[in-house]
């Protein structure tokens, strides 16, 4: 529940009407390193989806898979190459810049009791500056309707909120985020996971 990537998959599944059979792994106890789990996912990361014997990990890939396989329309991941390319760019931005800045700054503090790194904090601010620019004049992060990019990024931004990062300094992000809370399926479960 505390993992943004896991919560994004939960919201994505909700958006396409898929009921997940969720399995909670205790990472501190090494449950993701058991031979059984390594057979499913040798990279031993979460989330991992198993769909009728097909195993997939990396939350953004899972989001796309769920929409392509189970979506009743293509609204969350349109077939248009240009729209899809923009969504992909935002998904990769989330993975490599926004979420990565969260992990680089907060994980050492939480898991290793390391002091806060001001240089890592600057990377968070830079990531939010980029996101704020992407959202100039936009209601959604990649186009004119909710997509998998919004779902991935709202999971990440909600983790920043619960970590007490001041989102309000970024007017476009703040406006988008307030709307995303209302329109993203599964938001309540996402927020409950954040608080947990």
The answer to whether the beta carbons of residues 55 and 37 sit under 8 Å apart is no
Catalytic residue among 3, 4, 101, 159: 3
3 an active-site residue? yes
Distance, CA of 117 to CA of 90 (rounded, Å): 26
d(CA 176, CA 173): 5
CA angle, residues 138, 176, 134, in degrees to nearest 5 = 45
Who contacts 62 (Cβ-Cβ below 8 Å, separation ≥6)?
9, 12, 47, 49, 56
Residues labelled catalytic: 3
């Amino acid at each position: 529940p505390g993992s943004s990537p896991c919560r994004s998959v939960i919201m994505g599944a909700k958006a396409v009407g898929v009921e997940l059979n969720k399995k909670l792994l205790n990472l501190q106890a090494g449950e993701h390193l058991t031979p059984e789990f390594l057979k499913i996912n040798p990279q031993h990361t979460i989330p991992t989806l198993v769909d009728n014997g097909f195993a997939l990990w990396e939350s953004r890939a899972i989001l796309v898979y769920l929409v392509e396989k189970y979506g009743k329309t293509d609204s969350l991941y349109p077939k248009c190459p240009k729209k899809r390319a923009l969504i992909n760019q935002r998904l990769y931005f989330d993975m490599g810049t926004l979420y990565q800045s969260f992990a680089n700054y907060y994980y050492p503090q939480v898991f290793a009791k390391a002091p806060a790194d001001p240089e890592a904090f600057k990377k968070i601010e830079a990531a939010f500056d980029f996101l704020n620019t992407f959202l100039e004049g936009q209601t959604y992060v990649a186009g004119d309707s909710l997509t998998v990019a919004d779902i991935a990024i709202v999971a990440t931004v909600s983790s920043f909120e619960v970590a007490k990062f001041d989102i309000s300094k970024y007017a476009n992000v703040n406006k988008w985020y307030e709307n995303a809370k209302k329109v993203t399926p599964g938001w309540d479960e996402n927020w409950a996971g954040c608080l947990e």
